[in-house]
Amino acid sequence: MISPSGEVAMSNSDAYPDDEIRIGVFICHCGGNISDVVDVKRVADEIGSMPDVVRVSGVFPVDAPPTAGTESSIERAVVLSETEMFLCSDPGQARIEKRIKEYNLNRVIVAACSPTLHEMTFRRACARAGLNPYLFQHVNIREQVSWVIEDKEAATQKASRLIRAAVDRARYLEPLDDRKIPIHDAALVIGGGVAGLKCSLDLAQRGIDVTLIEKSDVLGGRMLELGTVFPTDEDARELVGALVKGVQENPKITVILNADLKDSTGSIGDFNTTVVVKKDGGEEDVEVHSGVIVIAVGLDVYEPRDGEYYYGKSPAVIGLLDLQKMLRDNGKLEVNGKPVKSVAFLHCVGSRQWEDVHEPQADGKINDYCSRYCCTAILHSAVEIKERFPDVEVYDFHEDIRTYSRGHEEIYTRSGELKVKFIRFDPHRPPMVQKDRKGEAALTVKCRDRLTFGEDLEVPVDLVVLGTGLVAKDMTTLIDLYRCSRGADRFLLEAHPKLRPVELAAFGLFLAGSVQGPMDITETTAAAAAAASKAAALVSQGIIELDPFIAKVNEDLCTGCKTCLIVCPYDAIQRDDEKEIAVVNEALCTGCGTCVAVCPSNAIQQFGFNDDMVVTEILALLGVETNSRAGVEAEEAIAAV
Amino acid sequence: MGDNENSQATEKLKVGMYWAASCGGCDIALLEIGPHLLDLIQIADVVFWPCAADFKYQHVADYPDGYIDVCFFNGAIRTSEQEELARLLRKKSKSLISFGECAIDGGIPSLANLKTVEGIFDASYHNTPSIDNPDGVEPQPITLVEQGELEIPVFYQQVLRLKDIVQVDYEIPGCPPQGDRVWEAIVAVTGGAVPLTNSAVKVACFDKSVCDECPLEKKLEKIKEFKRPHEVRPEPDWCLLEQGIVCMGPATRSGCGALCIKGGLPCRGCYGPSGTVEDQGTAMVSTIASLLDATTEDRAKELIDQIVDPVGTFYRFSMASSHMKTAR
Ligand SMILES: Cc1cc2nc3c(=O)[nH]c(=O)nc-3n(C[C@H](O)[C@H](O)[C@H](O)COP(=O)(O)OP(=O)(O)OC[C@H]3O[C@@H](n4cnc5c(N)ncnc54)[C@H](O)[C@@H]3O)c2cc1C
Ligand code: SF4
Ligand code: SF4
Ligand code: SF4
């Protein structure tokens, strides 16, 4: 039937009935990326001479050795196995299309690079040739074989084994259709800080109706508490004020203040959110219907524990936010009415903690991450103090200086020029703040300086400013409602930081700004703009197509035991109380497969990944012949005696 | 059942029952059809039943092929004798039915697959305190004595299911199968409602799991502590598993009518895996794992460690169908 490596013996496609599984295998040289290591011709030959599989009955062939009368029909046959220099090229794709028609192929396997790169390319090629794109199976023999295995023989064998497994799997592929979900033309933005404001404006500019809900009674968020901000030295309230004005004047944006989330149902394209609004001493529920949701609830500033660096014991120990409030509107630098003559800044307070040095937070974990804004915020304040109060001595106690962003290093340089004094501490022996017993100043900061020879310093100062870090908000309701995942640092996680930034794993939900981790204003607005354009792109499509790899419940097997309801991370399963079975919401299901794995009755299968496919593939990878396992084992067991 | 109709008019059906690696409970379970036993004798002649009547293997060997209409086979395959009989009865029977869990999924005997033959022999012939075997003798398939060769069956490396050896037509699950259900199945097979030949189709049971027949309700609560049945008085009407009592219900085929649960005890899993599940133990593990009230690995481990004999519990009746196969 086959003559491998490109030559084909049969060309009459009518000779094959449609119900037979007819597989075409295409193996790519990828220039020499693959073929320099993998002997692709030999692989094509080996695959081309794979025996056809005889049909056996039963769910898993293992259970039922072939019985008389059922052996006749061929279950799968590789009718074509050939190689090509660049399959993704136009001629390469054209060849696949031509072969599908010529040989009436109903399964196509391409062994090439990573599916992330070209799976869609080849699916589309299949579709152009009239073949359902999900009857295509991709095998990665570049990233997983030729690029990582030096030994040519081993690489060739692995490539061959992977393709064999795909061939066995391919017979269970089914034609599938993408899910088509209509998107309601409106957005809900949660949180009225700079992120929420920027995002709302961008969405409205693209013609989308926006409802912006804010928990407090005023728009602006954290920036309302700040003075001049780095790196542009602009007034924070003026900056955010301009955005607030823009939002308030925009007819496409509805702002609801004093509003908090209560409930949310629905899924991408059709979210229904219930918001509780405080009004005249009472409360009122408001319903918001939207196609997408952007979460922009920001974060909190670390609150030092009582006594941490003498915080709470002396009014002369304050946080960065307190300093901002002190300095803004031309404020004076004084404690209890007494002018301050010397200031010490301490970096990394509540950030970059160590298990053996710092006490854990309420959830038992330390904050081991860097809060990213504080180094620059500290130096920016240090410069401001030096410029406005040149006689004040400023000391900077740091573990490291991380002024990484554009325009931030200049602030560091400037602080040096202004003679801010830098002292570097060992994170395992952080500085100690005490009452100054000599009475020279309010406090002393004791520290062993790593920039000199390990000198033990005692610096008397009038004011200690703690470079308090940033921590995630308590987002219990939100996480519950939207099934958000959180990182170990408690901030919300994007679906993938590189491939799906600002998106949550569940479709139609986006993250804007510092809710997903410490960010300064520049980064916050960039993230908000990204979220807005992604959300807008989705809404303006009107309909979105989602891949068909979702879970489906088999009514005949489901007992309604609810195990799957408990585990679905996206709340995509409900129980139909009348039928007493589980039902998957197609729009909510992300195809994560969790329920499929846990259902004790095998009552849930996932399209594209059903048990037959997965088991067959694994057995093929292990080199076990699927339809003779039982027999082989019996013989082994007996022969072993 | 075309070929059966004519013969039925003229002569009675011929049925057989055999026991391989089993406890004998299945033979008794067949008696549990109670008054229907008389009905059975009305329509059928017993042509082989070592437990109840004196037939020799030679009798069976002398029957023409396909002579037995319906043969119930209970017990798993551990020895060459059992394999030989499986093959013989397959040849002599129109319909071969796996009766009970041992024949279907290995049953309790297949828990021995957790040990190697060497391990089993060590325990049986050498290391158990009550054993007195100074010469370290072990049974040999062939022993030479003055009078000639003595042969005993060979002990295989693992316990196999009947369907691992021969093609099986039907399977009646349970340890043992429930009398009422068994009678229904007998009526169906002998009465011609289903064809005599099939491919290991399960009868006398349902596809869904025991939860389907279970009267208790779930509260969607996670498991906070595991307890053994004798340690607690379970709250009525509430799912035992959620109360921390390991109940095999979710991973077990229904058909028993949730007998144990109605009697206040958790399901032990004796009907084997439900639906299309092959490996009952992993099905149960995934269920239990997803129900733990644990967000950290340590906590999950702490909970799991409270389960006594997990392998024996989750695979009590189905080790031979486990993907883990056998100790090597
Ligand atoms: C002391 C300090 C100094 C700083 N200095 C600078 C600087 O100089 N330059 C710079 O670039 N950045 C600076 N930053 C960082 C800057 O403040 C943040 O990057 C920015 O405010 C983040 O904006 P956001 O919208 O993500 O969050 P936020 O400003 O925190 O806004 C979140 C909003 O969401 C609302 N909200 C919360 N929960 C809900 C809910 N459930 N429903 C509805 N609304 C909700 C809140 O009320 C708030 O209005 C500084 C930060 C601090 C703490
Ligand atoms: S930004 Fe600087 S002060 Fe803040 S946590 Fe990171 S290193 Fe420490
Ligand atoms: S876990 Fe399986 S049997 Fe249980 S409710 Fe979900 S689908 Fe049904
Ligand atoms: S695959 Fe199952 S668990 Fe995962 S999202 Fe879909 S329904 Fe939920």
DSSP A569-589: TT--EEEETTTTEEEE-TTT-
Please give the Cα distance from B75 to B26 (Å, whole number): 8
Residue nearest to atom 4 of ligand 4 (CA): A592
Please give the Cα distance from B277 to A554 (Å, whole number): 13
Return the higher-pLDDT residue of A54 and B108. Answer: B108
| Residues of A with Cβ-Cβ distance to B164 under 8 angstroms | 630-631, 633-634
Return the higher-pLDDT residue of B141 and A447. Answer: A447
User: Which residue pairs from B60-65 have beta carbons closer than 8 angstroms and sit at least 24 positions apart in sequence?
Assistant: B60/B16, B60/B88, B60/B89, B60/B92, B61/B88, B63/B92, B64/B92, B65/B91, B65/B92
Mean pLDDT of B247-260: 94
Rg of chain A, C-alpha, whole Å: 32
Q: Which fold would CATH assign to domain A301-469?
A: FAD/NAD(P)-binding domain (3.50.50)
Per the CB < 8 A criterion, the answer to whether A38 and A155 are in contact is yes
Return the higher-pLDDT residue of A530 and A1. Answer: A530
Name the residue with tokens 């500290």: A378
Cβ distance B275 to A601 less than 8 Å, yes or no, reads yes
Lookup: tokens for B112 = 């021995």
Lookup: tokens for B240 = 């035992």
- Which residues are within 8 A (CB) of A550 and not within 5 positions of it... i.e. 6 or more apart? A179, A584, A586, A589, A590, A591, A606, A607
Per the CB < 8 A criterion, the answer to whether B226 and B303 are in contact is yes
- Going by pLDDT thresholds of 50, 70 and 90, the confidence category of residue A494 is very high
- Going by pLDDT thresholds of 50, 70 and 90, the confidence category of residue A2 is very low
- Going by pLDDT thresholds of 50, 70 and 90, the confidence category of residue A562 is confident
pLDDT of residue B185: 86
DSSP string, B281-326: HHHHHHHHHHHB--SSHHHHHHHHTTSSSHHHHHTTTTGGGSTT--
Mean pLDDT of A442-463: 95
**pLDDT, tens digit, 9 for 90 and up, residues B300-328:** 999 999 999 999 999 999 999 998 877 87
Residue nearest to atom 6 of ligand 3 (CA): A564
pLDDT of residue A641 exceeding 60, the answer is: no
- Going by pLDDT thresholds of 50, 70 and 90, the confidence category of residue A637 is low
Return the higher-pLDDT residue of B161 and A506. Answer: B161
Helix (H) or strand (E) holding A379: helix A374-388
Which segment of A77-81, A128-132, A331-335, A353-357 scores lowest on mean pLDDT?
A77-81
DSSP string, A239-267: HHHHHHHHHHH-TTEEEE-SEEEEEEEEE
Please give the Cα distance from B297 to B287 (Å, whole number): 17
pLDDT of residue B5: 45
Lookup: tokens for A635 = 């013989």
Burial class of residue B141 (count of CB atoms within 10 Å of its CB; 0-12, 13-18, 19+): middle
Lookup: tokens for B197 = 């030949």
- Going by pLDDT thresholds of 50, 70 and 90, the confidence category of residue B186 is confident
Which percentage of chain A shows pLDDT scores above 90? 76
A616 lines ligand 3 (CB under 6 A): no
pLDDT of residue B9 exceeding 60, the answer is: no
pLDDT of residue B7 exceeding 60, the answer is: no
pLDDT of residue A18 exceeding 70, the answer is: no
Among B155, B287, B325, the residue with its CB nearest the CB of A641 is: B155
pLDDT of residue A628 exceeding 60, the answer is: no
* Count of C-beta atoms within a 10 Å radius of residue A318: 20
- Going by pLDDT thresholds of 50, 70 and 90, the confidence category of residue A630 is very low
* Residue B125 DSSP class: I
Mean pLDDT of A76-97: 92
pLDDT of residue A293: 98
Per the CB < 8 A criterion, the answer to whether A168 and A107 are in contact is no
- The runs of H, that is alpha helices, within chain B are 2-10, 25-31, 36-43, 57-62, 80-92, 101-105, 117-121, 162-165, 179-190, 259-262, 280-291, 297-304, 310-314
Q: Quick one: which of A9, A141, A142, A146 has its CA closest to A77?
A: A9
pLDDT of residue A48 exceeding 80, the answer is: yes
Q: What is the mean pLDDT of chain B?
A: 91
- Going by pLDDT thresholds of 50, 70 and 90, the confidence category of residue B199 is confident
Q: What is the mean pLDDT of chain A?
A: 90
- Going by pLDDT thresholds of 50, 70 and 90, the confidence category of residue A439 is confident
CATH superfamily of A186-298+473-544: FAD/NAD(P)-binding domain (3.50.50.60)
Q: How far is the CA of A316 from the centre of ligand 2 (A)?
A: 22
* Residue A115 DSSP class: H
Per the CB < 8 A criterion, the answer to whether A211 and A257 are in contact is no
- Which residues are within 8 A (CB) of B314 and not within 5 positions of it... i.e. 6 or more apart? B248, B251, B269, B280, B281, B284, B285
Mean pLDDT of B266-295: 92
Mean pLDDT of B236-245: 94
pLDDT of residue A515: 97
In testing the pocket of ligand 3, which one of A554, A555, A562, A594 has its CB within 8 Å of the most ligand atoms? A562
Q: Quick one: which of B287, B298, B309 has its CA closest to B223?
A: B287
Buried b (16+ CB within 10 A) or exposed e, A175-186: ebeebebebbeb
Mean pLDDT of A602-607: 93
Return the higher-pLDDT residue of A76 and A72. Answer: A76
- Domain boundaries of chain A, sorted by first residue: 23-176, 186-298+473-544, 301-469, 551-606
pLDDT of residue B32 exceeding 90, the answer is: no
pLDDT of residue A202 exceeding 90, the answer is: yes
pLDDT of residue A19: 66
Cβ distance A560 to B157 less than 8 Å, yes or no, reads no
Among A62, A567, A640, the residue with its CB nearest the CB of B157 is: A640
In sequence order, the β-bridge partners of residue B3 are none
Q: Quick one: which of A452, A327, A335, A348 has its CA closest to A397?
A: A348
pLDDT of residue A170 exceeding 50, the answer is: yes
Please give the Cα distance from A21 to A77 (Å, whole number): 6
- Going by pLDDT thresholds of 50, 70 and 90, the confidence category of residue A74 is low
Mean pLDDT of B164-180: 93
Q: At what angle are helices B179-190 and B36-43 packed, to 10 degrees?
A: 20
Pocket of ligand 2 (CB under 6 A): A 347-348, 351-352, 370-372, 374-375, 400, 402, 467, 469
**pLDDT, tens digit, 9 for 90 and up, residues B69-117:** 999 999 999 999 999 999 999 999 999 999 999 999 999 999 999 999 9
Residue nearest to atom 6 of ligand 4 (CA): A589
**pLDDT, tens digit, 9 for 90 and up, residues B56-72:** 999 999 999 999 999 99
Helix (H) or strand (E) holding A421: strand A421-424
Return the higher-pLDDT residue of A217 and B189. Answer: A217
pLDDT of residue A539 exceeding 70, the answer is: yes
CATH class (in words) of the domain with range A551-606: alpha beta
User: Would A186-298+473-544 and A301-469 be classified into the same CATH topology?
Assistant: yes
pTM over 0.80: no
- Going by pLDDT thresholds of 50, 70 and 90, the confidence category of residue A636 is low
- Going by pLDDT thresholds of 50, 70 and 90, the confidence category of residue A226 is very high
Please give the Cα distance from A145 to B23 (Å, whole number): 52
Lookup: tokens for A494 = 């994007």
Per the CB < 8 A criterion, the answer to whether A362 and A314 are in contact is no
Please give the Cα distance from A77 to A171 (Å, whole number): 9
pLDDT of residue A25 exceeding 80, the answer is: yes
* Count of C-beta atoms within a 10 Å radius of residue A132: 15
CATH class (in words) of the domain with range A23-176: alpha beta
pLDDT of residue B179: 87
- Going by pLDDT thresholds of 50, 70 and 90, the confidence category of residue A612 is confident
* Residue B212 DSSP class: G
pLDDT of residue A374 exceeding 60, the answer is: yes
Q: How far is the CA of A595 from the centre of ligand 4 (A)?
A: 5
Domains, chain B, with CATH or none: 3-109+157-202 (3.40.50.700), 120-156 (no CATH), 210-321 (no CATH)
* Count of C-beta atoms within a 10 Å radius of residue B239: 24
Q: Which atom of ligand 2 is nearest to the CA of A352?
A: 5
- Which residues are within 8 A (CB) of B15 and not within 5 positions of it... i.e. 6 or more apart? B40, B44, B45, B46, B47, B68, B69, B70, B71, B72, B190
